[in-house]
Amino acid sequence: MILSKEEFKLSSGVSNIMAFSFIHCADLHLGFNQFGLDERFHDFDKSFSNIVDVACQRKVNYFLISGDIFNKRNINAFTLETVVKHLKRLNNNNITVIAIEGNHDKAFYQDRFSWMHYLAKNKYINLLKPVFSEGNFSVTAYDPLLCNGMVYEDEFVKIYGLGYFGNTLGEKIASLSEKIVADNRFTILMAHGGIGGIEIGRLSLDQLQPFYHLYDYFALGHQHSNHEYDRKVYIPGAPEYYDLGEVGKKKGFYFVEVDGKNKVANFIESKKRDALCLTFDAGKQHINENLDQIIAEIVHKASLFQAPLLRILFTGQSHFSLKAQDVETIRNAVLEKVGALYIEIIDNTGTEQTSIKYSQFAGSITAIERAIITEELMKDPKYSDVVPNLAEFIMYFKQKILDEPEAFLEELICMDMAKVLYEKKQEVNEITIPTAPPLIDTGENVSAEINKSGGSNNDYFQATLF
């Protein structure tokens, strides 16, 4: 629930300091011609336009952008024009725009200025970034003429801007925090970094919590889904789908009302193109046999939306991979019947991981590999009569490549391929297939079996082909 200014003052118990409000957004990625589609360029533009609409309607005082206004460093004229159009609307409504650079819109190393600097030079934004000297930075006030400095402040708010520093962001926050003292004004730290995970540019809460007493609001970005922690740390998420793997995750921006040191942070879902992710388990639903049924289900669910983005994911364990013709059949049928803007089909099916009991093969990698190859061949009925010879055939070629790679490749290049393969096949047909090496006597009657349990016992050897 969004409170009126009067209601907020009463609920917070603070009224001696003038209340103010701000918008916090991030990862706009404007100019992104996703999937090579002009429609997606306009989708990202519309999403930002909606946030600007809310800012103007609510008459906020500040508009914070925590990095990645642009999708890339090199932008075209049309992208710049659309961004300036929206920033002018904010400026004309007396809304102060404060931004930091993200990893997508920072200047190249050899360049001195970015397009963000251009926006600051023309008074569309206040671009906060630290000024470094000999590897260290000082906490300097923002200079609108030079477009540098990392602190914006007035009588109501103090905002520090760090930008993007990859995996060293935590160190930069600690360094900054050691140089400042708590302020009686509402204090915000802007940084382009997310929380958790191993991706570059992520922080842990442990790196922020020691400094909670210094900041009232951590305005973060970089992470494309919405998260908030401890009523201190806020990540709005990218307003549009930067990747279809984000479908189903919360994305939007914050409208924050402040009175003194008290705040109410209201998360608002962004307006974005409809998108749908459908998952099919290939192990339970055989793709080849149920293709029409799968298409019908996709069409039924996708028809509820207008020109949606679709992500169709096939998972599970299956003996058969998704065929290229099946992918095209699905894509064409859905495009024809639903009019989806874009369809992404992903085949994440696979076979069960095979675990070989190491002690049964007396440490012989060759025997283990032969057992795995044999098992895989047995899954396809057309190989059932020739599995032993074919397995040995594969083993022969593998060893030949390992032992004499150059000679083997030269042989294949210089001679007729069919003849080489035929001669090798004849040799294999005459081979007596060796049995696995004798088992080590463990005092137990252990049968030679391939175990698919995926267990983690020490006497199991996880094997992969070649």
What is the full DSSP assignment across 170-234?
HHHHHHHHHH----SSEEEEEES-EESSSSTTEE-HHHHGGGTTT-SEEEE-S-SS-EEETTTEE
Helix or strand or coil: residue 56? helix
414 against 213, higher pLDDT: 213
Q: List Cβ neighbours of 277 (8 Å cut-off, separation of 6 or more).
A: 244, 247, 248, 310, 311, 312, 313
The DSSP annotation for 81-144 comes to: HHHHHHHHHHHHTTPEEEEE--TTTSPPTT-S--HHHHHHHTTS-EE-BPEEETTEEE--B-BT
Residues 6+ apart with CB under 8 A from 361: 367, 368, 371, 436, 437, 439, 448
* Integer Cα distance of 262 and 14 in angstroms: 8
> Closest Cα to residue 312, out of 278, 341, 348?
278
Beta bridge partners of residue 98, listed in sequence order: 64, 126
Looking at residue 437, the DSSP 8-state letter turns out to be: P
- pLDDT of amino acid 151: 97
pTM of the model: 0.72
Task: Say if domain 5-269 classifies as CATH 3.60.21.10.
Answer: yes
Condensed to tens digits (0 to 9), the pLDDT of residues 443-459 reads 333 333 333 333 433 33
Tell me the C-alpha to C-alpha distance, in Å, between residue 462 and each of 116, 356, 417, 459. Answer: 51, 6, 34, 10
Among 125-134, 198-207, 312-321, the range scoring the smallest mean pLDDT is 312-321
Q: What is the mean pLDDT of the chain?
A: 82
Q: State phi, psi for 220 to the nearest 5 degrees.
A: -100, 170
Query: Partners of 279 in the beta sheet?
Result: 313
Q: Which span out of 333-342, 397-406, 431-440 was modeled with the highest average pLDDT?
A: 333-342
- Which are the contacts of 156, defined by CB distance < 8 A and separation ≥ 6? 17, 18, 20, 61, 185, 186, 258
CA distance 404 to 408: 6
Quote the CA–CA distance of 227 and 212 in Å, as a whole number: 17
* Residue 89 confidence (pLDDT) above 60: yes
Spatial neighbors of 322 by CB under 8 A, at least 6 apart, are 282, 287, 314, 345, 347, 349
SS3 273: coil
| Tokens at 194, concatenated | 């997310």
The Cα-based distances of 103 to 31, 66, 71, 146, 195 in angstroms read 15, 11, 9, 22, 16
Q: Is the pLDDT score of 411 beyond 90?
A: no
Does residue 312 have a pLDDT over 70?
yes
Token pair for residue 129? 């970034």
pLDDT one-digit tens code per residue, 424-444? 556 555 544 444 444 334 333
Confidence check: pLDDT of 2 > 50: no
Rounded CA-CA distance 235/224 in Å is: 8
* Contacts (Cβ under 8 Å, ≥6 apart) of 412: 420
Residue type, 91: N
Yes or no: say if 202 and 231 are a contact pair by the CB < 8 Å rule: no
CA distance linking residue 290 with residue 322, whole number of Å: 12
Whether 150 shows a pLDDT value over 90: the answer reads: yes
Q: Out of 50-64, 126-140, 143-157, 402-416, pick the least confident.
A: 402-416
The CATH 3.60.21.10 domain(s) of the chain lie at 5-269
Mean pLDDT for 47-72 is 97
Q: What percent of the chain shows pLDDT beyond 70?
A: 76
The residue ranking higher by pLDDT, 21 or 353, is 21
Indicate whether 373 pLDDT > 50: yes
Q: Quickly state the pLDDT bin for 347 (edges 50, 70, 90).
A: confident
Tens of pLDDT along 93-119?
Answer: 999 999 999 999 876 655 567 899 999
